[in-house]
Structures are given as structure tokens and as C-alpha cells.
Amino acid sequence: MGDRVKFFKKNYGIVLGGVFLVLFFLYLLLDTQKIRVYMDTFSYHDHYVNVKLYTKNPIKTKRILKKIQDIYYNYECISDSRRSRSSIYNTFYIYHNQETENQIKINPILYKILAFGRQYSLTSNGYYSIAMGEVEDLWKKKTSGSLTDADLSNINTDMDQIILLGSNLMKNNHVYLNVESLALAFANYEIENYLKEENVESYLINAAGQILVGKRYHNSLYQIALENRDQQIYKIVHIEGKSLVTIGDSIDSFSYQGKIYPNFYSPKTKRPSTNFQNITVIGDDPILINVLAHTLYHMDMEEGKSYMKKYPNIQVIWQNEGIVKSI
């Protein structure tokens, strides 16, 4: 017994240091099991993308955030109608190309986006088109005077002009496309599946009004505040495991003759739709709810309610001034 006491007295510092070392490693082990929030901000065209991931591994999370940024950048390049992107046959190329052939080969992901948009438009009662680039351009460039029906009548917004030939080939008829919003929905769909592969369950990603919501990371659901263009909250949505899309003047707008208009145009009138200020659609599929939001925004409420009978599991919120309606 005396020898043991002598040993501990002689090696007290070593023993104490060993205890502290064990406790330190236990702390590190327990600390790495804590869920933390990791945030980053990217850009997509002229909008911000805000990402929150609730994970345990900072090194893995850094890699995941980089991958998410790369996905958004890829879809931004594909859907860019304002400039060419190196080695990417994007929407700018479709409209501005100088090819002499009557068909062109485009980016394979862009081909899928166009195929989906064209197919969906057949069921939209004429309220959905991605061939709206020229309409949007004309309104953005108009700084004085009025746009007449004659100004707009010669613009072709018909989806039939998008002729897909298979094998990523399309007819070279220089369609002026605007697929930024739909491409963003495709990006969100890819990111949602990528996060599943990486076993990231809890997340909140807001990309220009298109929001991905994962599982709750504590007892409460996520709270999504819907705001008008004056940043006044008109509704709070409590959700998890869903996608949410809002379009309207709170997301993108412009001033014309002293009045604020939403930067969303009806394929039928070729003018900004003013039935509502904002529409929000909530569902499981980020691509489907994107095209539904763009369709419903150009319908009146009664037509919209009738149209949505085909989609009973999707929620819609209409907002106009102080009036908020939902189904």
C-alpha cells in the first residue's frame, strides 16, 4: 500500500495529465455529436441563395456546401439568356447562334428542362410559357410611353416553336427563352436528392423565393414568413419536408410610369399580371410547384381553384393588398 502511495505522489503530474487528456478526448467525441447550423450565401443570376444545413460534421458540410454552390452555378450558366458561357450551349446560344444548319445541339440538362416545360404547357390552358424572353426584354427596355397591343402582337410566345428532335437536338429557329426560374427549380430538385444521398435531413434553402425545407431539427416546425414588397409579413407558414415557391412583386418587380409591376408576364396578354401581388405554392416536388405557381399567377382565383382540383395535395396561398386566401 505504501509503495502505491509513493508511486502516485511521484507520478502525480503524469496521472493528472492523463486524466485531463482522457476527459478532453471525451469532450471532443461528445462535441462532434452536436448538431450545428452551417450557413452560406451564393448567387443565382441577380438573386441571393441562402443555405442553412443542420449537421454534425464541419468538414463534410464544407464539401456539401461547395457542391450546392456548383449545382446552382451550373444551372445559372445553362439558363443564361444574356451572355454565352464557355463550352455550354445555353439559352443565349439558342437565340443568338450563327449556325447555318436547321438544327442545333444544346446542353443535355437544358434539353430536359425544355422538354418538361413544353409538356407541362399542354395542360396549362395557355397560361404557361418559357418562350417569354422577348416580352420581358421589351418591358424592361421601355422607359417612356406606353406599350400598345401592336407593340406586343408580333411577339411569339407559343411553346410550339420549341421543337425538340431527340438526342439533345432542337430546331434552330432562334427561340428567345426565359428558363431561369424553371432551371432553378431543377437545381433545387437535384440538390434535394443530393442531400438525401449525403444523409443531410435538416436544412432550409431559400433561392429567390423557391424554398427547400428539410425535416425539423428540433421539436418545432420551420416557420416561413411570407412578405409583401414592403417587407410586411402577411402570413407565416409552418412546414417541414416540403418545397415552397412564391412568385410576385415581392420577388421581382419593376417600375413603369410611376407604378410597381411584377416581373411576371402572361403568355396570353404579354403584359405583367396584376390579379395578385403574390402567390405561394407548397408541395413535395419543387419542379411541379414552380410551374404551378407561374400558371396560377396569370389566372383569376376562381379559375385557379378549379385548375388545382387536379392537384389535391398541393397548397396555394393568394395575396393581394390586405386579402389572403388559401386552399
97-122 pLDDT tens trace = 999 999 999 999 999 999 999 999 99
The H-assigned helical ranges of 145-245 are 149-153, 180-197
User: How far is it, in rounded angstroms, from Cα 221 to Cα 93?
Assistant: 44
72-105 pLDDT tens trace = 999 999 999 999 998 899 999 999 999 999 999 9
User: How far is it, in rounded angstroms, from Cα 141 to Cα 225?
Assistant: 33
- Domain hosting 292: range is 221-327
Is residue 255 domain-resident? yes
305, amino acid identity: K
Cβ count near 244 (within 10 Å):
24
215-240 pLDDT tens trace = 998 889 999 999 999 999 999 999 99
Closest CA to 79 of 65, 94, 69: 94
Closest CA to 182 of 52, 81, 327: 81
Is residue 282 domain-resident? yes
Is residue 293 domain-resident? yes
> 324 or 162, which is more confident?
162
Supply the mean pLDDT for the chain: 90
**Residue 234 to residues 54, 129, 207, 246, 262: CA-CA distances in angstroms?**
28, 29, 20, 13, 18
Cβ count near 140 (within 10 Å):
11
User: Is residue 30 predicted with pLDDT exceeding 50?
Assistant: no
137-177 pLDDT tens trace = 988 887 666 778 888 988 999 999 999 999 999 999 999 99
Cβ count near 299 (within 10 Å):
21
56 Ramachandran zone, left/alpha/beta (phi>0; psi -120 to 50): alpha
Is residue 60 domain-resident? no
Mean pLDDT of 303-317: 97
- What is the model's pLDDT at position 28? 43
User: Is residue 186 predicted with pLDDT exceeding 80?
Assistant: yes
Is residue 286 domain-resident? yes
Q: Which residues of 8-37 are buried (b: 16+ CB within 10 A; e: fewer)?
A: eeeeeeeeeeeeeeeeeeeeeeeeeeeeee
- What is the model's pLDDT at position 322? 78
User: Residue 179: which H helix or E strand, with range?
Assistant: none
Is residue 25 domain-resident? yes
168 Ramachandran zone, left/alpha/beta (phi>0; psi -120 to 50): left
Under 8 Å between Cβ of 131 and 175: yes
**Helices 286-296 & 180-197 angle (0-180, nearest 10):** 160
* Number of structural domains in the chain: 2
What does residue 104 show for φ and ψ, rounded to 5 degrees? -130, 155
DSSP assigned state of 99: -
Is residue 71 domain-resident? no
DSSP assigned state of 221: P
Is residue 198 domain-resident? no
pTM: 0.89
Q: What's 225's domain CATH number?
A: 3.10.520.10
Question: How would DSSP label each residue in 141-187?
Answer: H--SS---HHHHHT----GGG--EEETTEEE-S------HHHHHHHH
Closest CA to 120 of 246, 269, 292, 244: 292
295, amino acid identity: T
